[in-house]
Amino acid sequence: MIHILTGPFGSGKTEISINLALRLKEVAEDVSLLDLDVITPYFRIRDVADLLGEMGIDVVTVKRELKYMDLPIIPGRLTELFSKDNAHIVVDLGGDDDGARVISSLKSLLDGKRISVYFVVNVFRPFNETVDEICYNIERLSSRSRLKFDAIINNSNLGDLSTEEVVLKGEDVVTRVSEITGIPVKWTVLDEALAKHADISGFKYPVFLIKRFLGTPWEGRR
């Protein structure tokens, strides 16, 4: 099964990809996490590859000696990886249409495979605040990636200032996007730090709890 995460720049695809891979690892033996982010220079899967490797995830990313290159590198092993039948492969794409375009170039490898494509959105990000903007971004990314989106993931948050109201506002916006596009909403993402004291009884969609792996030096995560 191939799980592809796409979405606007900075919508939270990488953290969700990491957490999805770890969640799958709880129920499946063979889980790979594929770093196809050619957009972001910092805060990428390759920055935590060793840690995730220790946690049993097969991290497929650029070679170590190319880790810090300012180049859009697509890792090797893709033919082998996509030909596995009983594996879970989580694919983290770079943001926006330039990031989504990478998967389009690999379309021949995906033909005939079981794939799920998720559109991750945070309605508190610039250019993604309204139903119209998000619908436009879905159309644009779908066309660039040459993929039909199976589900929307609501990752609406304001970082450390997130509250239940923030998440609910996100649910409200993506619900309307879902009605227009016909794409169902799969999850509402909740940071475990907020989850500790949040009342999730009013949430409309199943909660996907995440732990953050990528962070700043003063937080002791990077």
Interface stretch with another protein, choices 51-59, 109-117, 122-130, 137-145 (CB under 8 A): 122-130
70 binds another protein (CB under 8 A): yes
Calpha distance 176→168 (Å, rounded): 13
Q: Does 65 bind another protein (CB under 8 A)?
A: no
Instruction: Name the residue nearer to another protein (CB basis): 127 or 180.
Output: 127
Q: What would the DSSP string read from start to end of 98-132?
A: HHHHHHHTTHHHHTTS-EEEEEEE-TTSTT-SSHH
Q: Which of 125, 141, 185, 190 binds another protein (CB under 8 A)?
A: 125
Judged by CB under 8 A, the residue of 53, 76, 159, 206 near another protein is: 159
For residue 136, state whether it binds another protein (rule: CB under 8 A).
no
Q: How far lies 57's CA from each of 31, 35, 48, 54, 173, in Å?
A: 6, 12, 11, 7, 34
Taking the least distance from each CB to another protein, the nearer of 12 and 93 is 12
Q: Which stretch binds another protein (CB under 8 A): 80-88, 121-129, 142-150, 203-211?
A: 121-129
Is residue 132 near another protein by the rule CB under 8 A?
no
- From candidates 19, 32, 157, 188, binder to another protein by CB under 8 A: 157
Q: Is 197 helix (H, G, I), strand (E, B) or coil?
A: coil
Q: For residues 203 and 191, what is the distance between their CA atoms, to the nearest angstrom? A: 14
Q: Does 68 bind another protein (CB under 8 A)?
A: yes
Question: What binding mask, one character per residue, do residues 35-64 give for another protein by CB under 8 A, x or -?
Answer: -----xxxx---------------------
Q: In whole angstroms, how close is the CB of 119 to another protein at the nearest point? A: 17
Q: Are 17 and 90 in contact (CB under 8 A)?
A: yes
Angle at CA 215, nearest 5°, toward 137 and 166?
50
- List the structure tokens of 142: 């779908």
Whether 4 contacts 118, CB under 8 Å = yes
Structure token pair of residue 160: 């450390």
160 counts as binding another protein under rule CB under 8 A: yes
Tokens of 194: 């907020």
By CB under 8 A, the residues from 86 to 105 that bind another protein are none
Chain residues binding another protein by CB under 8 A are 9-10, 40-43, 68, 70, 122, 124-127, 129, 157-162, 216-218, 220, 222
